[in-house]
Structure 1
Amino acid sequence: MQKKKSKPLARLEQSITLSNLWLSILSLAKQKPIYAYALPSKIKESFGFSPSRLLTYLVLYRLEGEGLLTSKQEGQRKYYSLTSSGKASLESAKKLLYKRAKEL
């Protein structure tokens, strides 16, 4: 029988996953170009949580608008790739998370 998570731990998990969905999207885009429809299942497969399709699209479009992703239409699919600014933001975020975790 699996032990139920405490409320603070559940909030932390949500903060790390859903509230920072942009990190998961940038991480996947760093590996190879991605398209919007496949993102929720790729996130579930790679990171173990299931964001809604709507939230995923909203974050994806915001990242493109902020210059962290660029898009290219190929047939009916629009593929998103990490920009140099996106790569720098992802690396900075990883360093910040690592630093905070070490401080605990």
Structure 2
Amino acid sequence: MPRVSDPEPSAQPKAVTRLVNKLTKEMLWIYILRLLQERPHYGYEIKELVTERFRFSPATVSGYAIIYRLVKDGLIQEMEESGSPRKYYGITDKGRKAMVTAKGFLDETIETVFDKTST
């Protein structure tokens, strides 16, 4: 099934383009936490996985800024990987709870906003 983010930006209404940007690049923290639910990752690996798995490419600087903020907020933590010079990050219990809350909010929003929309 094609994704809304696949067509040329000019082929879709600007409102849809803005929605895609809001739910991808501006909500990068959700995608980072999703990846860290599987296992710890290092910064550049997170950026590459976001591009591969979620099909959008965040700026490298944005990714590191979000990682820093997630650490500061206690949603992820730096982890030691034996023998590796890289900084690995893992999700915390607080991060897992944030994902549950975010999913509930998004589910409720979709149900409320799109209850009269047919596909």
Same fold (TM over 0.5): yes
Q: Residue 97 of structure 2 aligns to which amino acid in structure 1?
A: A
Higher relative contact order by CA 8 Å / sep ≥ 6: 1 or 2?
Answer: 1
Partner of 2:20: 13
Unaligned runs of 5+ in 2: 1-6, 114-119
Q: Residue 71 of structure 1 aligns to which amino acid in structure 2?
A: E
Q: Is residue 89 of structure 2 the alignment partner of residue 86 of structure 1?
A: no
Unaligned runs of 5+ in 1: none
Question: Deviation string for 1:3-61 (max 9, x for gaps)?
Answer: 71110000000000011100000000011101001111100111111001100000011
Q: Residue 19 of structure 1 aligns to which amino acid in structure 2?
A: E
| C-alpha distance in 1 between matches for 2:59 and 2:80 | 23
**Counterparts of 1:56-67 in structure 2 under 5 Å?**
56-67=63-74
Which structure's CA Rg is the greater one?
2
**Counterparts of 1:42-81 in structure 2 under 5 Å?**
42-74=49-81, 75-81=84-90
Q: Is residue 38 of structure 2 the alignment partner of residue 31 of structure 1?
A: yes
Q: How many aligned residue pairs are there?
A: 103
Partner of 1:96: 105
SS at match of 2:12: coil
User: Deviating runs (4+, > 2 A) in structure 1?
Assistant: none
Task: Quote how far apart the aligned CAs of 1:73 are.
Answer: 3.1
TM-score by length of structure 2 reads 0.82
| C-alpha distance in 2 between matches for 1:22 and 1:99 | 19
